[in-house]
Amino acid sequence: MCRNIRTLYNYDPPSTAADMEAAALQYVRKVSGYRAPSAVNEAAFNQAVADIARATETLLGALRTTAPPRSREAEIAKARIRNAKRFAGAEYSPNQ
């Protein structure tokens, strides 16, 4: 699974169309192996992004839960804590 694709469901405020399109773009890039398609493949690439974004919007609109909505800020804070634990002791040099 592509690490850049994030959970979009059950957030307050809800995920936007831009969030869904960004996730669709990451998915199509991963599956196709193209970061940017050639001119001959561009139409198919862009159509796939649009189709997946639309399917994502349909899915998120149909899902139901009784769980309280998550906070993006709280999820970001948890991710930072996980990363700090994961990389504890590892030296970081921006020139590597």
Considering its fold, how many domains does the chain have in total?
1
With respect to residue 93, please indicate whether it lies within any of the assigned structural domains.
Answer: no
Task: For residue 38, give Cα distances in angstroms to 23, 29, 32, 34, 93.
Answer: 21, 13, 12, 9, 35
Predicted local distance difference test score (pLDDT) of residue 91 = 64
First to last CA, the chain: 26
In a domain, 82, yes or no: no
pLDDT of the residue at 79 = 87
Its domain, for residue 26, covers: 17-71
Amino acid, single-letter form, for residue 33: G
Q: Give a yes or no: residue 81 inside a domain.
A: no
* Domain presence at residue 33: yes
The answer to whether position 8 is within a domain reads no
Characterize 24-37 residue by residue with b for buried, 16 or more Cβ atoms within 10 angstroms of its Cβ, and e for exposed. bbbbbbeeeeeeeb
23 lies in a domain?
Answer: yes
pLDDT tens for 44-92 read: 999 999 999 999 999 999 999 999 999 989 988 998 999 898 888 666 6
* 3 in a structural domain: no
DSSP annotation of 48 reads H
* pLDDT tens digits, 3-37: 667 889 999 999 999 999 999 999 999 999 999 99
